[in-house]
Amino acid sequence: MDFGFKISPSSAVNLDNVNVEKFEQLHSVEPDVYKCMACGSCSSTCPANRFSGMSMRKVILALQRGKEKEAISMMRNCMLCGKCSMVCPRGINTRHLILSISRIYKEDGK
């Protein structure tokens, strides 16, 4: 009998196998990437978040876990309006961070 449920594949990430060279390169250009405390202020003010799920904290977490494609596809929805920078309690220049991420992760043709 089919109840409509199935076992999902594991979403566990083995951090020992993740290549973090690009993330370290990003950190050398943008030290603010380690300042993010994932408070959600940026996500709550983001106009793109309502329609597309754009979230700066999710982007940073995905990059740390080696899920570059997921992060880049989420960032494509950013309108660079700067509202997230205005409400960030840590003062992270998220617009500049997004542009740096785009530049560094685009170098491989992604």
For the chain, which domains are there? 20-106 (1.10.1060.10)
Reduced to 3 states (helix: H, G, I; strand: E, B; else coil), residue 31 is: helix
29's tokens = 């250009």
Residue 9: CA atoms inside 13 Å, Cβ hemisphere, count? 1
- 18: nearest Cα among 69, 63, 66: 66
Reported as a single tens digit per residue, the pLDDT across 8-29 is 887 777 878 888 899 999 999 9
Q: 50: part of which helix (H) or strand (E)?
A: helix 49-52
pLDDT tens digits, residue range 63-85?
Answer: 998 889 989 988 888 889 999 99
Confidence of residue 108 (pLDDT cuts 50, 70, 90): low
d(CA 50, CA 105): 25
**Pairwise CA distance, residues 76 & 56, whole Å:** 12
- pLDDT at 110 > cutoff 50: no
pLDDT band at residue 106, thresholds of 50, 70 and 90?
Answer: confident
Distance between CA 91 and CA 32 in Å, rounded? 9
Model pTM above 0.95: no
